[in-house]
Amino acid sequence: MSDEYDNNKSYQAQSSEVMDGSTGSVNPDIDYVRPAEVGEQDLYHGHSFIEKWVFCQDAKVIGVQYFLTAVFTGIVGLILSWLMRLQLGFPELAGFMTAEHYYQFVTMHGMIMVVYFLTALFLGGFGNYLIPLMVGARDMVFPYVNMLSFWMFFVAVAVLMASFFVPGGPTGAGWTLYPPQTILEGTPGSGMGILLMLISLSLFVIGFTMGGLNYMITILQARTRGMTLMRMPLTVWGIFTATVLAMLAFPALLVSAIMMTLDKVLQTSFFMPTILKAGEVLEYGGGSPILFQHLFWFFGHPEVYIVALPAFGIVSDLISVHARKNIFGYRMMVWAIVGIGGLSFFVWAHHMYVSGMNPWFGFFFATTTLIIAVPTAMKVYNWILTLWRGNIRINTVMLWCLGFIVTFVNGGITGIFLGNVSVDVPLSDTYFVIAHFHMVMGIAPLMVIMGAVYHWFPLVAGKMLHEGLGKWHFWITFLGAYSIYFPMHYLGFIGVPRRYFEMYDSPYMTSAVGMNEFISIAAFIVGAAQFILVFNIIKTLKTGKKAEQNPWKANSLEWYTSTVPPEHGNFGERLPVVHRWPYDFSVPGAKDDFIPQTTAPSEVIHTEVEKT
Amino acid sequence: MSEQKIDGFELKPGFKGMASDTGSDQTMFKGVHWGKAMMWIFLLSDTFVFSCFLISYMKGRGSTIVDWPNTSEVFSLYVGGVPVPLLLIAIMTFVLITSSGTMALAVKYGYEKNRKMCGWLILATAVGGLTFVGMQVFEWSKLIHEGVRPWGNPFGASQFGSFFFMITGFHGFHVSIGVIFLFIYTYKVFAGHYESKKRGWFTKMKGDYVEIEILGLYWHFVDLVWVFIFAFFYLW
């Protein structure tokens, strides 16, 4: 067949092959890299427009498809948050909104942002695009399954969006979907809305499993020659560990979705206790609502780290590149990612302190929760030590990274408050919790996404995004996000409950009203500022200046492709051979301030050394 | 694995070997086919799905307010007017375990490139799986006939029917998917697709007899899950 990759010769060659086209002198003794274990990957190149851009098997195109779909749902989530803020800040302007609408917007905003936006963007978007490039593979190992994964996600999003248009509207049970109220009449969207939500989640899990298997096997079994696990960029480590978490945590979501679907459709009573409604006993009885909470949070807590770990990884790489310094404590960073991932499976019940449980149980989960602060703090120290005495470039990417560190520390510290049972109980279900998780898993990962977009856009599109617009985008978002969430901590302390449509004449009304107006105005501005990026991207694609190859002088393999943007197959005729980690920046005595991963040791040894 | 040779890399036994494989470049599981590694990881994920189901079942059974039905009565068959507990389940389990045996033999003959034997054994596995699903349909219809429904039953706690139909249904769905693939692979083996290196209908990839082993892994897993369901539902 003609669509095969035409060089099917494997790299089972002598060590002189190690030259891999680099110019430096080669010393076989110190430059030796083991020959390839497996032959060339058999790639199917699309022929038609549909095969190239729609049902495409190229991980890079799939990554962009994931990215755009996730951004679309993210914009829907953003608009929902505007509507919520309009009601909270200026209820007189939001006359069209009923309490039911408000609950539906809260629910859909939460679910969209956590699952369909952040998870899909980090793992589906960045994962697909970067994993094969960074580990030196031609593509994901199962391109066809990868394509199915995206389309499954696409259908999941379509089903989710369809729930806006069914009778009764989308579910309004809160993104946690706690039974029994989720499927009982009286909750908005308890008919078709919740059903479509559960179907959509199940489709998402199936689609993600297909993608996740690809990410894991590509990283474990398809690295290029010389690429050991401890030479992988931290981005890959973050995405890998997040994928492992997802593969083990999503089953709990799938099972709870199936069981709740049956409760809804077939009147089973998995989660439904005996319920009296207007003096009448409903047909349900004997089920356990707490069981759902356990299943949901067994998924829900690792989910937080599914979003956070890729952000940790990506930001490490961005900081290192733009501070021209090797990442401080690489191995510590890797083990911290793995450790956080492992611990995240033993903390889920800290979301359930107010659900009622044995005090010893609460004590156990408080302990494990606080232990997570240790590896997390290690990471923060390491980011700061990477910056310390670095040759820092204050460009847009670096600004987003610095913004991330500050925001993450802020959200992390409030997490320590909420991890303790006795502090959590009074703060539970107040705006303090809203402020905490938006800081730590909303704004912080979003800052990393923005930094990553500015960093990798030259690779994806071959053009540089406008720096000035980028800085406006950053400062408005950063200051605006603080204007939104800092006051919310205070609102939480004075006891303003979350998920309330209206405050009525509560004693804290007077101080909360002004603050709510202020927060809402800030939220409108920050939301609108995100369209600066959209404008920047469109403008750049039309008139932006062409990017040189590797504009940031980075070391990792994605910048060393045969063409920019990389074509299908990524690396041209020969796969790169890796000799070092991706963090050799500002090495004393080296010719440049960066040494690409593909540079052989002898090339560095033989450069003229200027003693400093 | 021990005889395997990989250029420029020494495969060591035991924990040391695991450490040096992990620390090496290119692959973590030396000489393991991508698809095989994928299936193992998928099965790990699927294990979590079934674990969640079974743990929910234990929690549900433990916390229900009405007594659980007496399973040795509910699941018994009448042979000549005498109730024989677990008779049908014993036959079902026997058939499924036997099909695991034929599957393992099919893998062996596949690697020996014995196309005919391999094909017949996969077909036998598929027929075994189909028989199992058929008997499950019989069992379901018998229970439904006796009044067991997902939302209630005449024997005791309503959760009995809920969990029974959900978990055996989910397992039966796995078996059915496996049977479909077994029939597809029967065709592929008999048609000699692995010898002619014919490309797949959808994936456009060339196949190999390792695919039989990958399907075998799935089949053995489905078997193993059945053992747990058997123990938790029928023996408890």
The residue extents of the domains of chain B are 1-31, 33-235
Tokens 């193993």 — which residue?
B224
pTM of the predicted model as reported, rounded to 2 decimal places = 0.94
Decide if pLDDT at A276 tops 80. yes
The SS3 of residue A401 is helix
User: Is the Cβ pair A37, B30 closer than 8 Å?
Assistant: yes
Q: Maximum CA pair distance of chain B?
A: 70
Q: How far is CA A205 from CA A174, A180, A210, A345, A441, in A?
A: 20, 23, 9, 18, 20
CA dist., res. B103 & res. B118, Å (int) = 9
Q: Which residue of B has its CA nearest to A5?
A: B205
| ipTM of this complex prediction, to 2 decimal places | 0.94
- In a domain, residue A101? The reply is yes
Residues of A in contact with B52 (CB under 8 A): 251-252, 254-256, 295, 298
| pLDDT tens digits for range A133-148 | 999 999 999 999 999 9
CA distance to partner chain B, nearest, from residue A190 (Å):
19
Name the pLDDT band for B3 (thresholds 50, 70, 90): low
Backbone φ and ψ of A545, nearest 5°:
-80, 145
**A486-523 core/surface letters (b: 16 or more CB in 10 A; e: else):** ebbbebbeeebebeebeeeeeeeeeebeebbeebbbbb
Mark which residues 200-229 of A lie under 8 Å from B by CB.
Answer: 209, 212-213, 216-217, 220-229
CA distance to partner chain A, nearest, from residue B82 (Å):
33
- In a domain, residue A246? The reply is yes
Based on the structure, what is the number of domains in chain A?
A: 1
- Of A274, A275, A270, the closest CA to residue A287 belongs to A270
Name the pLDDT band for A26 (thresholds 50, 70, 90): low
CA distance to partner chain A, nearest, from residue B145 (Å):
18
Residues of A in contact with B30 (CB under 8 A): 37
Residues of B in contact with A135 (CB under 8 A): none
| pLDDT tens digits for range A42-58 | 888 888 888 888 999 99
The SS3 of residue A603 is helix
Decide if pLDDT at A71 tops 80. yes
| pLDDT tens digits for range A551-597 | 999 999 999 998 888 999 899 888 999 999 999 999 888 888 999 99
User: Is the Cβ pair A37, B32 closer than 8 Å?
Assistant: no
A562 touches B at CB < 8 Å:
no
Domain B33-235 fold: Four Helix Bundle (Hemerythrin (Met), subunit A) (1.20.120)
CA dist., res. B124 & res. A420, Å (int) = 59
- In a domain, residue A611? The reply is no
The CATH code of the domain that includes A278 is: 1.20.210.10
- In a domain, residue A575? The reply is yes
| pLDDT tens digits for range A86-132 | 999 998 898 899 999 999 999 999 999 999 999 999 999 999 999 99
Residue B2: predicted pLDDT = 44
CA atoms within 13 A on the CB side of A58: 17
Cα A374 from chain centre: 22
Residue-range definition of the domain harbouring residue A139 = 56-597
The average confidence (pLDDT) of chain A is 91
